[in-house]
Amino acid sequence: MDVVITALGPDNVGLADPIIHYVTGQGASLSEIQMYDHDEAQLFAMLCRLHLPDGRLDLLEQAMQKIAEKTGLAIRVWSPDKRADRPRIALCTTYRTETPRAVLQAVRDGRIRAEVAVVIGNRKKCEPLAEEFGVPFELIGEADGSANEDAMVQMFDRYEIDYVVLARYMRILPPETCWQFAGGRIINLHHGLLPGFPGFRPYHDAYAARMLTFGATCHFIIPELDAGNQTINQETFAVRPGTPLEEVIRRGEQVNEPSCLVEGVRRVIDREVKLHFHRVVVS
């Protein structure tokens, strides 16, 4: 059984030792360990990926809970094998409805073999969409649209989320949230081709560069922004010279972005690809 353990909390000495000693003592084989000390924030973060003999996940979860109580760390134990037939998705949204609708429809049609357990928004724009598909909607946004990150993490835990899908969720997740769900659990749709056109206005930037090919990128989110290649899927479309920017954006938002995200999520859910040491590899 493949297992990912993440730990986050106030920096101190010896925080990793009890975790590593326990899992190795249980006969686990380690395939990835990452540890970061963020001195300026006095924060310790850790990811441990391992293979555990079958039937020991419950014991591991209980042991990690005791270690968390002793060390003050927020420790999460997650296995993609636990709900391999139907993993649970949290769909995070802001204003645009095309991409979350595409994921919800793909799940309903069986193209994505998962369950959308909750739609989360920092705005209420997608609440009617969630109601249409019979999925709970949770608002975590303040009046100005800023997100309550602690509430978001609590939602992920309450709904027992396996994968977080950012479907044009127009807020940057803080490193603390990324670390707690690290290891290839957070999937994002960027409405531009990476690495060429990052930022919030990739259509405008590509158009200003006189590009005739536009696209979208589905990628894993990781805590360290420039750590490598996390692209899961990219899809493009070409336009004729002189095509208005408005038409480019319309085609991108209504057709290309939804298609790109659905295929990216499907690849992850079907375990065709995974994240290993911040890089996408074939499973």
Active site positions, annotated: 226
d(C-alpha 64, C-alpha 70), whole Å: 10
Write the Ramachandran bin of 3: left for phi over 0, alpha for psi from -120 to 50, otherwise beta: beta
Contacts of the segment 145-148: beta carbons below 8 A, 24+ positions apart: 145/94, 145/171, 146/122, 146/171, 147/122, 147/171
User: Which position has the token pair 């094998």?
Assistant: 81
Per-residue tokens: 89: 């998705």
HSE toward the beta carbon, residue 258, CA cutoff 13 A: 16
Largest CA distance in the chain: 65
Concatenated DSSP letters of 101-139: HHHHHHHHHTSS-SEEEEEEESSSTTHHHHHHTT--EEE
d(C-alpha 104, C-alpha 197), whole Å: 27
User: Under DSSP, is residue 50 helix (H, G, I), strand (E, B) or coil?
Assistant: strand
C-beta separation of 6 from 183 below 8 A: yes
